[in-house]
Structure 1
Amino acid sequence: MTTWHERLTDWHKSTYTHWEENACVEIGGAPGVVGIRDTKQWALPDKTRPILVLPAASFAALLDHLGR
């Protein structure tokens, strides 16, 4: 059984990252889903690093709600 850490690829930091506040998120994808994770947790082992996984349509709705 594969994990989300194995399925989600192409992780990249948000263009709205606030370096001075250390408030960064990364976005990764797999067919039909989007993963969101906190960059501050980079040192955690992948199997314990939390990822919020949303259907792609829900992620798009979230971005629309936040005003992209």
Structure 2
Amino acid sequence: MRVVADHLGVRMNTVLWHVKTKARMLDLMADAVVGEIGYEGLPAGAPEGARELACRYRQALLSHRDGAAGGQRG
């Protein structure tokens, strides 16, 4: 949370006011990463479309530092 606050140029209390918990922050960050995935132009067939979507998901995760780290939550 402190790093996010520093990056935004605000105090940590400001970040906490908006997101309340670290778990909520992680949820919002995951939503932002998944939101980058393009769903247009997927192959029509189920196996091919699923494979392409998985590749896009992986690429979105890998394009962010620690995006695919699979950290512990809870």
TM-score normalised to structure 2 length? 0.28
Structure of greater Rg: 2
**Which structure's residues are more often helix, by fraction?**
2
TM-score normalised to structure 1 length? 0.30
**Which structure's residues are more often strand, by fraction?**
1
Q: Which has the higher contact order (CA 8 A, sep 6+)?
A: 1
